[in-house]
Amino acid sequence: MAKTQRFFDKLSSADHMPWEKKNPGYIFQAKPLVINASPEKVWFDVRDPNTYYQHSQGAIWAHVNGPVEVNASISFKIFKDKLIGKFIPQSYERICAVNDSKKIIGWKRVLPLGLGTTERFQVLEPSEDGQSTNSYIALRVPGLVGFFTNCFLRGTIESSFNELNNGIKQSAEHS
């Protein structure tokens, strides 16, 4: 629990658009993961969403046309090639954070009909000895959309995040 709290504290103090505090919504997250590689080495893979499909063994497909930078468009889909993926639409979002020094990448999507904004972030944190990296991934989905997402897709979303985190771990530790 302490690691998860540090993740949210880091997001709140980062110099990018922080979590919207007025409606925290439902939080979906990967299990915090320790990667036995430096944050710089891990960041190389995290910073490029175009590699997520390979790293997550097909759990997450993401594509950015052009440079990965704030306000760039990102297309995102989970389990694209599996049956469950047929029921989850592709999402078109905007990158809202790419912080190379703090190792934070995030994007958000404004939902239709004024239903709020989803926010997805991945944060890397160096271990105290600097030899390994703690990786956190979380998604906030507001209000009624968050409620239904929580009821029907929590396991699917969190599984896709865990697949991505584990794939990035394998890449960083074995390259």
Q: Could you tell me the CATH number of the domain that includes residue 139?
A: 3.30.530.20
**Given this model, what pLDDT does residue 85 score?**
86
**Given this model, what pLDDT does residue 15 score?**
47
Question: Residue 114: inside a domain, yes or no?
Answer: yes
Highest-pLDDT range among 21-30, 121-130, 159-168: 159-168
Read off the amino acid at residue 96: C
**Given this model, what pLDDT does residue 75 score?**
97
Rounded CA separation 128/130 (Å): 6
Average pLDDT rounded to a whole number, residues 95-114: 93
Tell me how many domains the chain contains. 1
What single DSSP character describes residue 82? S
Question: Residue 20: inside a domain, yes or no?
Answer: no
> Please, which residues have CB within 8 angstroms of residue 172's CB and are 6 or more apart in sequence?
35, 36, 37, 41, 42, 44, 45, 133
Cα-Cα-Cα-Cα dihedral of 32, 35, 131, 171, to 10°? -150
Q: Is the pLDDT of residue 83 over 80?
A: yes
- State the sign of the Cα–Cα–Cα–Cα dihedral 139, 143, 78, 84: positive
Question: Residue 34: inside a domain, yes or no?
Answer: yes
Question: Residue 15: inside a domain, yes or no?
Answer: no
**Given this model, what pLDDT does residue 12 score?**
53
Q: Is the pLDDT of residue 142 over 80?
A: yes
| Domain housing 57 | 2-7+27-173
Closest residue by Cα to residue 142 from 166, 118, 165: 118
Question: Residue 56: inside a domain, yes or no?
Answer: yes
Token pair 């497909």: residue? 61
**Given this model, what pLDDT does residue 175 score?**
83
Read off the amino acid at residue 65: N
| 25 — pLDDT class (breaks 50, 70, 90) | confident
Question: Residue 134: inside a domain, yes or no?
Answer: yes
Question: Residue 21: inside a domain, yes or no?
Answer: no
Rounded CA separation 175/163 (Å): 18
Percent of residues, the chain, with pLDDT higher than 70: 86
Question: Residue 22: inside a domain, yes or no?
Answer: no
